[in-house]
């Protein structure tokens, strides 16, 4: 099997335990018996995950959000855990693909719940406690061939909607955010704030400044088309106003190469973040801390997803209709193009019907939340895709703080009524009120980057042709069709921008030995105790 790591990626830790007559106490183990990932704030706050093996029991845990990447493979008589899917494959996890999971991923760009590209590999759910023992224990499920397995999970879903005046909501946001930063002081002087043209990172930088903490530098990445340079322009204005050094990292010179690096680093669970690879490289060999704005606007603004029309559909259901509508509004894939790009077996397994079925199942879990749309987005897109930017791509930082996920602040923002979110501007109001001296600084313009959206990175069509030609024969892609279209220039720039990352992704799955299968998921009947 080929080597799966990149030279710049240190080997991922893992631990494997399985029943074996020749092992100590009937158990054979490999890997690191105790691993702690992420960071804690107090007893339970912070973003963290890890495992411990005491010679008889493996215990795997994470925080309430489950955003620190951690995956497991349960097999006949044993289990293997790692923060990297490629490591589990190296340890013997089957490479059979999960058609339903990929059906969603191909259309909306992120995985749902605990899904991964592979049918036998699962992400650890939020607020999880997983235990495996070589010998059976009370209340545990007996694994195939021996051993016992239990898995409990608790999502931090709001139990009520906040009913407060607008000014109280604004002031509560200000006070709780200040508290979140106080709880997360920089551990050393060499800390960094990634800075965009939006609100989340601005709020972080302004509050750090107000509390007397000056970052070593702020950093902004120039993205690939269709993303323009508004982030860099606006971030420079803010950094200059505060007297903070500002580093701007250019877009990747070789987009497909960075796409491949990103896929490995994110365990093939994200269609985004390649544009951040330059930031990752700038952070090497590591800074003391980094402050990321994950969760801020997702919880407190309407953003892209929350509209009155979609909310009406969410409220009236049924989940299948919501799923169809979600794909229609936010899906990036052409059904006709997908059907012709994918090899027949994968196209059948990852059909639109499969995507609707899986989406509907997940959507149903969020329909009674104060803001059902943002609840669905937070626990799926934010947790399973956006989180891979700070907690995987930017992992060279020794600590990645996420102040918007402070337990008290999250509980407050998650309980905002959908009417408050739809009205908008709560985050703007909080920032203006808390930092009036900087209230006139602009935010990024929604229309910026329109010209860049019509561009395709130079040479990407040639690189894509070479990549496809070099991957023949293929099990997952219909390469004959793709080469015929690329060879005569029949693919429009917008289509190339969409296809290039997907074809790169599929090509990498091929090298991992992935194959489409109609088999039922091995782990679909796991005992998960939702409390």
- For the ranges 68-72, 160-164, 219-223, 335-339, the maximum mean pLDDT occurs at 68-72
pLDDT for 452 beyond 70: no
Mean pLDDT for all residues in the chain: 88
pLDDT for 434 beyond 90: yes
Q: Which CATH architecture has domain 166-302+388-406+425-438?
A: 3-Layer(aba) Sandwich (3.40)
Dmax over Cα atoms in the chain, in whole Å? 71
Average pLDDT over residues 520-527: 44
Q: Are 208 and 289 in contact (CB under 8 A)?
A: no
Peptide bond into 473 cis (omega under 30): yes
DSSP string, 254-314: SHHHHHHHHHHHTTT-BS--GGGHHHHHHHTT--SEEE--TTHHHHHS-TTT--HHHHHHH
Report d(CA 302, CA 422) in Å as an integer: 6
Average pLDDT over residues 480-508: 74
Backbone φ and ψ of 10, nearest 5°: -65, 155
Spatial strand order in the sheet of 27-31: 27-31, 15-24, 78-82, 71-75, 122-123
Average pLDDT over residues 423-431: 94
pLDDT for 4 beyond 60: no
Q: Around Cβ 9, how many Cβ atoms within 10 Å?
A: 14
Q: What is the pLDDT of residue 450?
A: 47
Residue 72 DSSP SS3: strand
Q: What is the pLDDT of residue 459?
A: 66
Q: What is the pLDDT of residue 457?
A: 60
* CB-based contacts of 100, cutoff 8 Å, min separation 6: 115, 349, 350, 354, 355, 357, 358
Report d(CA 101, CA 160) in Å as an integer: 31
**CA terminus-to-terminus distance, the chain:** 41
Which DSSP symbol is given to 383?
I
Report d(CA 504, CA 484) in Å as an integer: 17
pLDDT tens sequence across 206-225? 999 999 999 999 999 987 66
DSSP string, 393-459: ITTTSS-EE-GGG-HHHHHHHHTS-HHHHHH--HHHHHHHHH-GGGTT-----TTTTTTGGG---TT
Q: What is the pLDDT of residue 26?
A: 83
Q: Are 156 and 162 in contact (CB under 8 A)?
A: no
Report d(CA 246, CA 197) in Å as an integer: 13
Q: Are 149 and 527 in contact (CB under 8 A)?
A: yes
**Alpha-carbon Rg of the chain, whole angstroms?**
23
pLDDT for 245 beyond 80: yes
Report d(CA 32, CA 154) in Å as an integer: 27
Extents of the domains making up the chain: 15-93+124-154, 166-302+388-406+425-438
Q: What is the pLDDT of residue 229?
A: 78
Report d(CA 515, CA 517) in Å as an integer: 6
Name the percent of the chain lying above pLDDT 70. Answer: 84
Q: What is the pLDDT of residue 499?
A: 79
H/E run at residue 234: helix 230-242
- For the ranges 154-163, 202-211, 468-477, the maximum mean pLDDT occurs at 202-211
Report d(CA 502, CA 485) in Å as an integer: 16
CA 12 to chain centre: 18
DSSP strands (E only) in 311-410: 400-401
Report d(CA 271, CA 469) in Å as an integer: 22
Q: 3-state secondary structure string, 97-141?
A: ECHHHHHHHHHHCECCCCCCCECCCEECCCCCEEEEECCCCCCCE
Report d(CA 446, CA 234) in Å as an integer: 13
pLDDT for 342 beyond 80: yes
CA 31 to chain centre: 26
Report d(CA 421, CA 424) in Å as an integer: 5
pLDDT for 364 beyond 80: yes
pLDDT tens sequence across 111-131? 999 999 999 999 999 999 999
* CB-based contacts of 212, cutoff 8 Å, min separation 6: none
Residue 185 DSSP SS3: coil
Average pLDDT over residues 25-44: 94
pTM score, whole prediction: 0.91
pLDDT band at 95 (very low <50, low <70, confident <90, very high): very high
């Amino acid at each position: 099997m080929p080597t799966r790591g990149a030279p710049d990626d240190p080997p991922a830790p893992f631990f494997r335990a399985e029943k074996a007559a020749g092992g100590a106490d009937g158990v054979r183990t490999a890997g690191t018996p105790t691993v702690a990932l992420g960071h804690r704030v107090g007893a339970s706050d912070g973003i963290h995950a890890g495992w411990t093996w005491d010679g008889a029991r493996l215990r795997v845990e994470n925080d309430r959000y489950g955003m620190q990447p951690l995956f497991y493979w349960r097999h006949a008589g044993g289990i293997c855990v790692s923060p990297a899917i490629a490591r589990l494959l190296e340890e013997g996890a089957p490479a059979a693909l999960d058609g339903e999971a990929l059906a969603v991923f191909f259309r909306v760009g992120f995985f749902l719940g605990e899904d991964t590209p592979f049918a036998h590999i699962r992400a650890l759910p939020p607020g999880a406690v997983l235990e495996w023992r070589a010998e059976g224990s009370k209340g545990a499920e007996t694994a195939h061939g021996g051993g016992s397995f239990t898995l409990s999970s608790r999502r931090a879903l709001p139990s009520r909607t906040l009913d407060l005046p607008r000014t109280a909501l604004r002031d509560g946001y200000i006070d709780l955010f200040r508290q979140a930063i106080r709880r997360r002081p920089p551990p050393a002087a060499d800390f960094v704030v990634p800075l965009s043209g939006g609100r989340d990172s601005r709020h972080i930088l302004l509050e750090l400044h107000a509390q007397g903490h000056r970052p070593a530098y702020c950093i902004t990445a120039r993205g690939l088309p269709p993303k323009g340079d508004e982030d860099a322009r606006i971030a420079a204005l803010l950094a200059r106003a505060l007297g903070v050094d500002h580093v701007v990292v250019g877009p990747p010179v070789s987009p497909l190469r960075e796409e491949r690096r990103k896929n490995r680093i994110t365990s093939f669970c994200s269609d985004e973040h390649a544009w951040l690879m330059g930031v990752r490289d700038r952070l090497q060999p590591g800074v003391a801390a980094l402050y990321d704005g994950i969760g801020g606007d997702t919880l407190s603004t309407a953003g892209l997803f929350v509209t009155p029309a979609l909310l009406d559909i969410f409220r009236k259901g049924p989940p299948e209709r919501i799923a169809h509508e979600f794909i229609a509004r936010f899906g990036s894939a052409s059904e006709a193009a997908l059907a012709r790009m994918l090899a027949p077996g994968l196209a059948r397994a990852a059909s639109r019907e499969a995507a609707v079925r899986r989406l509907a199942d997940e959507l149903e879990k969020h329909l009674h939340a104060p803001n059902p749309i943002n609840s669905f987005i937070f626990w799926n897109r934010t947790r399973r895709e956006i989180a891979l930017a700070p907690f995987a791509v930017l992992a060279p930082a020794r600590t990645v703080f996420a102040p918007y996920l402070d337990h008290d602040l999250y509980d407050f923002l998650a309980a905002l009524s959908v009417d408050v979110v739809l009205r908008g501007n709560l985050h703007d109001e909080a920032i203006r009120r808390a930092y009036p001296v900087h209230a006139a600084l602009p935010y990024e313009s929604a229309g910026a980057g329109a010209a860049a959206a019509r561009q395709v990175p130079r040479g990407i069509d040639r690189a894509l042709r070479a990549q496809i030609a070099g991957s023949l024969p293929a099990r997952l892609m219909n390469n004959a069709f793709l080469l015929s279209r690329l060879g005569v220039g029949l693919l429009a720039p917008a289509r190339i921008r969409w296809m290039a990352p997907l074809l790169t992704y599929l090509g990498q799955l091929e090298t991992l030995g992935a194959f489409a299968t109609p088999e039922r998921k091995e782990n679909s009947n796991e005992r998960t105790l939702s409390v």
